[in-house]
Structure 1
Amino acid sequence: MLFCVFIFYPFLKGIMISFTNWDGYSQASIWVGLDNYKRMFDDPNIGTVVKNTFIYGLGSTFFQNLIGLLYALLLNRSIKIRGLTRTIVYLPVVISPLIMGYIWYFIFQLHGGALNDIILPFRDEPINLLADPEKNVWIITFVNTYQYLGIAMFIYLAGLQSIPKDYYEAADLDGASQWGRFWHITLPMLAPSITINIVLNVIGGMKLFDVIVAMTNGGPGYASQSLSTMMYQMYFARQDAGYAASLGNLMFVLISVISLVSLLYLRRKEIVR
């Protein structure tokens, strides 16, 4: 019942709204059929927005898994301050994404930003990285990676600690190298953890919203917009709920297809213990 009320009904309602010209506030709306979808595919900015959405999703997934796995491998060893390091890496996760975005905005901003305060003595003028269309998307991806790699790290740590020690002892008897142990034992046995991390990271990255709003608000123009921020602006700033709903449906389809394909492919690669 709760699923129907809070998930299924809003989903169906969103599909219905996408076929109307509803402004999001009034009681009246007109059925326009597929006009919103035609408009969406004719929109000159939709290509940039979809590309950015993929960068946020796939870029964050790649870096979170790579760095998270490296941290997990390091912190799975018996080293000093291991617990403290784990806490420091995980700490950004508990911070609101909006607050995290503003923290990094104050680092990268043009006037008075911490980065420019550091480099200004060595150059004539400050740099405005957040206004650079070729860099701001990757900066946002970096911030999202920084905030959530702690989750990936702990999932990998759980996977590492569940690998039976007998496998490594047998590999040592066979004279396997460190790389051989990792490639033939650790990585295959981590397949379930890899599956969980990739699917979660793809979903989280492709629906990224708060950090974008805090750092660039999607600008300049549509240079750093994602489907979620464009949908928000169309609904609340332009009162174009029908078009916003069509963008939301496109985002749902893209996330569903990519996450489902990733899940099915990675599940086939997992080792049954």
Structure 2
Amino acid sequence: MSHSTEQPLSLLRSLIQARSFGDSTLRFLGSLLVSKDVKSLIEVRSGVTQLLRSECISVLLSISDKTVREKLIVLEFFVRAFALVADHESCLALRYEALVMRQMKSSNYQWLRVSPLEWLRFVEDALNNGFHSVAEKACENALSYLRNNDVLKPGTDAFTENLNAVSEITRLRNRAMTLVASRSVQVQAAEYLRRKTTEQKMSGLSFKGKRCLATTAFRNGIKRQNVRRLNQHQSLLKINNELDGSHLNLR
């Protein structure tokens, strides 16, 4: 990483470690991503993404004993930060964490309630970014939560809006399940093709090995046969020579 990149990243790290989770830090982060040089922009974006991931884990571990409000402020900061660097996976993961946290604490704090529209927006973003299994899980969680909540009781505020949102979440859940199943079939098919290719290669090597062994055995057999014939020929010559010698002695 270049020296010009290290200095602003070091400043961003200092701001996060100082727990400066306000708009000013986000504006500074956004200023780092403004570059006319594409190569520099890619380098800065990569460096910022790695820094955010590392610092996010450290910060979340350090606030385990904080209040729900304080935790949500930190999660919101990192959600917006990851959105700026287009790290959709980390952004969605933290959004889901925040929604689940609010859902769990909403029985004690009404202001934490997650509306059907919030769940719907999250599911749509997860599907649009290709995180089908995350969308399916979020749909199941949302439907289970909303059915046990009074937001769907007739006469409540925004009843029709909530009902439409739940209907859309149900539709998206079915779509997500289909996509997950399709993906599973594709993965299994790819794995099957890889396995068959490997087996064919191994079979080919085995056949070559057997063919080499057969060829070697055939050649060795010919050599043994030739040696045997040579020995037979030499024996005949020896006998003939002895007979010739005997005839000479008789004469």
TM-score by length of structure 2 reads: 0.29
Bigger relative contact order, structure 1 or 2, given CA contacts below 8 A and separation 6+? 1
Larger helix fraction of residues = 2
